[in-house]
């Protein structure tokens, strides 16, 4: 709800600034009209920026408590090549072919600090990417790597990156990176990824995944 509300506020700013810009651009006059036109165009650009901010913020989901954010199932296609089906909390499924021996899922997390945290505003997250890794250091350096990005920010408007850059000057919010521990891929393995306020935790869900983790450790 919080991130939908923030997106709605940014959307309202977008509409308000766009309305002001259109009013200025439609008025008559010369030098003043030109100045109004330039200012109006600047307001339109600002309105577009607010619109992209709203879209970017809307892509985040609030963390109510520790919850499952994704499940992943693996099918072996060839040696060190697996097909993974990732299902998110909305029931959407995406399929990726990953090279290597292990996999890792990353997420972007926005945490609130100070008074806002005390008010009960929960952190938000967005799945960021999934990648494969080899056991062998030599293959890590030389073999083909696979990494897939989710929910990329549009047209360079990345609120999380802005917050991360300015985190030293923002006392109420922090942008952090959450990564699940690298875990082994195996034919038929099933994992779930949980997210809490402290980060990502991955758990094997079936015997195949448990055996793969046991053999790896």
Residue-wise pLDDT for 179-193, tens only, equals 777 899 999 999 999
Tell me the three state secondary structure of residue 126.
strand
CA torsion 68-75-180-112 (nearest 10°) is -40
Q: Residues 113-133: what's their mean pLDDT? A: 77
Burial class of residue 60 (count of CB atoms within 10 Å of its CB; 0-12, 13-18, 19+): buried
Which residues have C-beta within 8 Å of that of residue 6, sequence separation ≥ 6? 57
Q: Is the pLDDT of residue 30 over 60?
A: no
Q: Residues 141-153: what's their mean pLDDT? A: 86
For residue range 150-164, list pLDDT tens digits in order.
877 666 677 767 777
Q: Do 87 and 130 form a contact (C-beta atoms < 8 A)? A: no
Largest CA distance in the chain: 78
Burial class of residue 5 (count of CB atoms within 10 Å of its CB; 0-12, 13-18, 19+): exposed
- Provide the β-strand partners of residue 178: 107
Stretch (H or E) spanning 4: helix 2-26
Q: Do 92 and 69 form a contact (C-beta atoms < 8 A)? A: no
| Residue 12 or 144, more confident | 144
pLDDT for the residue numbered 19: 78
Report CA torsion sign: 89, 70, 83, 206.
negative
Q: Residues 197-205: what's their mean pLDDT? A: 81
From residue 52, give the alpha-carbon distance in Å to each of 7, 48, 88, 186: 10, 6, 24, 40
pLDDT for the residue numbered 2: 65
Q: Is the pLDDT of residue 82 over 80?
A: yes
């Amino acid at each position: 709800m919080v991130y939908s509300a923030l997106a709605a506020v940014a959307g309202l700013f977008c509409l308000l600034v766009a309305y002001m810009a259109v009013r200025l651009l439609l008025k008559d006059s010369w030098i003043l009209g030109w100045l109004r036109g330039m200012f109006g165009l600047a307001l339109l650009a600002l309105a577009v920026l607010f619109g992209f901010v709203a879209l970017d913020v809307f892509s985040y989901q609030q963390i109510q408590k520790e919850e499952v954010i994704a499940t992943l199932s693996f099918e072996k296609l060839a040696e060190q090549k697996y097909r993974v089906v990732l299902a998110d909390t909305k029931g959407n499924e995406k399929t990726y072919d990953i090279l290597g021996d292990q996999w890792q899922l990353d997420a972007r997390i926005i945490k609130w600090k100070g008074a806002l945290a005390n008010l009960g505003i929960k952190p938000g997250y967005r799945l960021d990417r999934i990648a494969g890794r080899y056991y062998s250091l030599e293959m890590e350096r030389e073999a083909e790597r696979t990494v897939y990005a989710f929910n990329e920010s549009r047209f360079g408007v990345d609120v999380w990156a802005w917050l991360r850059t300015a985190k030293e000057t923002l006392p109420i919010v922090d942008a952090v990176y959450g990564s699940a521990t690298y875990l082994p891929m195996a034919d038929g393995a099933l994992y779930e990824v949980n997210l809490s306020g402290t980060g990502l935790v991955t758990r094997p869900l079936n015997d195949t995944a448990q055996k793969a983790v046991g053999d790896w450790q």
